[in-house]
Amino acid sequence: MKRVVVLTGAGISAESGLKTFRDSDGLWEGYNIEDVATPGAWESNPELVQDFYNQRRRSVLEAVPNAAHYALAKLEEKYDVTIITQNIDDLHERGGSTKVIHLHGIITRSQSGIKANLTYPINGWELKMGEMCELGSQLRAHVVWFGEAVPMIETAAQICAKAELFILVGTSLAVYPAAGLINYVPRNVTKYIIDPTIPTTTNNRMVEMPYKATVGVPMLIDELMENDV
């Protein structure tokens, strides 16, 4: 089966009603990102940060996958599909995709405050202060904050290097290191970009599809299912 790698960003989740990570006003749900998404914020006001991610988690659990999520899952019927997502929600999994790499963590899990790879499932939407990991550290959202390493980036780069077809959905290629993953895809591999605003790249063999994810992804997947591209 041909190896297809899909890199998704905030645009695909936005169509399920989830706010993008950084809106046009530079805020996320009314907060300065520096106040809720950095190690320093957690150190200075952990209650605020915990509450912020509890509310984001509740929004994620209330959201449902959209047509783009379901279409990508359908692609597995004919292709070996790996999804690399910048999103912290679980909509790809709930949409039926079976191989999903979360570059920036997943909000439905918690992690140790002192050992990032020590993670636990969260029962419901609320993670409370006083809930500790087995090492005695306060549990926090399993989300990569600004200023923290992106532990899955090397794995993602290796997967991109083996891609035989590459699809980019709902991302402006503005957030690094995730934006650099397209440069690991072999230059002779066909690349599809689905977004209302097509980001500027220097790659060749680029097929531009200036649509929202819920329109462009089902359109492309129907084409791929009918023809071995």
Annotated active-site positions, please?
Answer: 104
Q: Closest Cα to residue 62, out of 105, 96, 19?
A: 19
Q: What is the per-residue DSSP string for 24-56?
A: TTSEETTEEHHHHSSHHHHHH-HHHHHHHHHHH
Q: How far is CA 93 from the centre of its chain?
A: 11
First to last CA, the chain: 12
Q: Which two tokens stand for residue 161?
A: 């290097």
Give, as one character, the DSSP assignment of residue 137: P
Mark out the alpha helices in 30-142 (DSSP H runs).
33-36, 39-44, 46-62, 67-74, 91-95
Helix (H, G, I), strand (E, B) or coil at 102: strand
- C-alpha–C-alpha distance, residues 9 and 12, integer Å: 6
Residues shown for the chain: 229
Residue 39's contacts (CB-CB under 8 Å, 6 or more residues apart) are 145, 147, 148
